[in-house]
Amino acid sequence: MASTTQTLAGWSWRRHGSDEEWHASAHSKPTTEIFVDLLDANVIPDPFLDQNERLVQWVGETDWEYRCEFLHEPNSSHSRQDLVFQGLDTYATVFLNESLILSSSNMFHRHRVDVTNVLKRGINTLRIVFRSALLEGRALQEKHGKYRAFNGEGSRLHVRKAAYHYGWDWGPLLLSCGPYREIYLESYASIVYDVFANAEVAEDLQQATLNVSWDANFETNGDVEVIVTSPTQRTFHSICTIVTGNSQNSVSFKIPQPELWYPIGHGPQAFYTVVVRACSNAGDTLHTSTITSGIRRVRLVQDVLVDEPGTSFFFEVNNQPIYISGTNFIPDHSFLTALTPNDYAATVESCLQGNQNMLRVWGGGIYEHDALYAECDRRGVLVWQDFMFACGQYPCYPEFAESVKKEAADQLKRLRNYCSIVLYAGNNEDYQVIEDLGLQYDPDDHSGDWTGTDFPARTIYENYLPAAMNQYAPNVPYHPGSPWGGKRSDDCTVGDIHQWNVWHGSQEPYQLWDKLTGRFVSEFGMLSLPSVNSVPRFVTDPAQRHPQSEVMDLHNKAEGGERRLAAYVLENIRVDSMRLESWTYATQLIQAECLAFAVRSCRRQWKGRGRAYCGGQIIWQLNDCWPVSSWGMIDFYGERKLAFYSTKRESAPIVIAIHRSTPELKRVKFPPIPIPGAPHDLAKKSYIFDIWAVNTTLQEADVKVVVRLFDTETGQLREERILQRQVLPSNRSTELVEDEKVDEKTAVQAILFANSQIISRASDWPQPLKHAHLPTSYHVNLKVLDDRVEVTSTAPVKGLELYMTNEGRRICWEDNCADVFPGDTYVIHAKGLVKGDDVRMRYYGMDWVPNSG
């Protein structure tokens, strides 16, 4: 008889060690956690509202227990029963019918436990005691010593739990626990599991070797049948004999002309189906495991560059160089079990709508739910996967190291069939932390064992994790950390960098982003407030709904966040009001401007073979885990900030871009060369601008470019010129106009046409914007039609935001935060918009230019 799988559900909970009655969870899902259950039972206030985070800290300092009951009717055909635990958060002691069957101390471990002799006919009871991770971590700290952490208390470094639960500079301190991943009972006579389809693709892509491996547990000798089916229904078949007991097995298939999986924009997402069946000697099917996976050839290219120092850092899939426009993804909720597969699908959809082709799963969260990776596979979004170490000086004592080794094995075996994962990185910013603390780190020391230094976890990143990769996921590149390049972590000529000298660090003006790029920029960002419509959802007292309220301060976890944000706003734009609506718009406009400067500066450096001076950028960050002022481009309630739209435009497959500078500043290549412009430099400056285009498609593009210069004081057109037929080579940037002189009171617009259609617009304004004198009288007109708005203006307009006042309706704008110029009707599509809807607008200067509107 075939195996059976029974997923456990119907949880009850209570405080451990108390005589409380068991409380039934209000839901029937197979996964749960204590904060969700306490909220459902009205035991605690919603931690996301007001200052309630302060009121619920006792939850993380308390031990809890969970219980569920399930019916088991033994079948004589099934000689073995396993309980499979996909994830327990975090310190868990598990009893079945009051017999101890498992102790787990790592949130990222998976367990398969033989319970054949513990199960009984009829009702069985599974009980799990979850000890406080906070208190357990403090005890380990007392035992093994203190280690330094940036974000969260240092005891977290001893605990293999989602680090963001300890509080981050965008997230609350909410230490949950519970059976956060599924638990199921598997009954069988013979079983195959942990199936891996490892494809080795020839360099010319004309043949692939597909190595299919699996683990097996057979009661008696039997056969395993392996059937591989291609996307066009070609089949490959093999049968092998399996002996009694546990075993590891594999077969190989030669696949001519393999049908390859490509990322979005580079080809189709094609999948092979692999079926592995355990069969009895009589040919009966006893168990089946089925996976789908794409076949692709992935390389991380780090070659010596032409004309610039260092080496490249870019991804190549099926021999095609891929420029990365990506975004960092943090856990989408502080309570992981509140998420559904639809939430993960929405995340990937947001990426694609924002012209992003990569998600980085950040190392302070979790190895994400299978639904996220499956959707990335299906939609062609690449994944950069961190191992779960972030911002700390981690230990490496023996029991910690063994736990990490099992964690790596468990998670790699779970994730290795997802073809969208093209890189594993050992940690997030841990090398940088060691450098900042001045601890022992010699990049030229390759001894392989650093456990005796004050950077012991280097042994994990450069020894244990690479070994796990070689064993369990040899088809994906490994990178020891992020940022990392084999030298200092801030070396912009090698590896990847986290460019935080805008906002953190030296707090450079974002207009200098062209001096701050690196070979690959895997983090950068700018903070802003959540959208205005979101604030009433977490600030219940109307008197607290202003930017400087106590509640708003609590929902800004960035150190010095209010001060730094004010500095960037006030250094760049004029602000005449601190009303919530005005300040929110100001912060979101600055975020939109900053990220746009960064993205176009990075993409300009994608100059073709040998000159891939920047192979991509990954914005920090896409999303939030609770309502907060943060670097997110989409707030917790799903409202898209202005930066979502500005970066969407800058990340389009074909885009035009402008940059203004002075001749002196343009000559500066890399920091730390001093930037000209001391406060007492009183000489009148001359300005120049460059125009370039980026074409990341696989075909060259014939385009026409119209360049228009406007007087920012009068709004009048000064000059228009046309660049007739320009050919943009595929998959690189192309310079179009260089060192063109421009008056400091001029706004420049460039429009790129292909086949008489507008493909891209770009604009460049005097910087800082606060010094620009705008016209005293002009008119902006909105024409609201079904599914679109047509915008015209009699003078140049900066950062026009459209929004709706209709309560209960969410309009999905395809574009927003637009720069609108005279003589150019700007059309913004919006799904669900109806002619006559009350569409409102905000734009820069609207509050203080007397006769605009």
Backbone φ and ψ for 465, nearest 5 degrees, come out as -70, -45
Is residue 153 flagged as an active site residue?
no
Amino acid in position 436: D
Q: Which residues contact 302 (CB under 8 A, 6 or more apart)?
A: 311, 312, 313, 494, 495
- Classified as helix, coil or strand, 693 is strand
Contact 625, 164 (CB under 8 A): yes
Pairwise CA distance, residues 620 & 632, whole Å:
7
Pairwise CA distance, residues 11 & 64, whole Å:
13
Pairwise CA distance, residues 589 & 510, whole Å:
13
Strands annotated E in 447-518:
478-479, 497-498
Region class of 210: left (phi > 0), else alpha (psi between -120 and 50), else beta: beta
Buried-state track 467-495, b at ≥16 Cβ within 10 A, e below 16: ebbeebbebbbbbbbbbbbeebbbbbbbb
Rg (CA), the chain: 29
Pairwise CA distance, residues 182 & 89, whole Å:
12
Pairwise CA distance, residues 185 & 193, whole Å:
14
Question: Strand pairing partners for 701?
Answer: 728
- Laid out side by side, the sheet with 797-804 consists of 818-820, 797-804, 839-842
Question: Strand pairing partners for 802?
Answer: 841
Active-site position among 65, 136, 407, 429 = 429
C-alpha atoms less than 13 angstroms from C-alpha of 534 in its C-beta half-sphere: 20
Q: Count Cβ atoms within 10 A of the Cβ of residue 499 and give its class: 0-12 exposed, 13-18 middle, 19 or more buried.
A: buried
Identify which of 101, 96, 92 has the alpha carbon closest to the alpha carbon of residue 120: 96
Where are the alpha helices (H) located in 754-825, listed in sequence order? none
Write the DSSP string, 268-335: ----EEEEEEEE-TT--EEEEEEEEE----EEEE--BPSSSSSB--EEEETTEEE-EEEEEE--S-SS
Residues known to be catalytic = 429
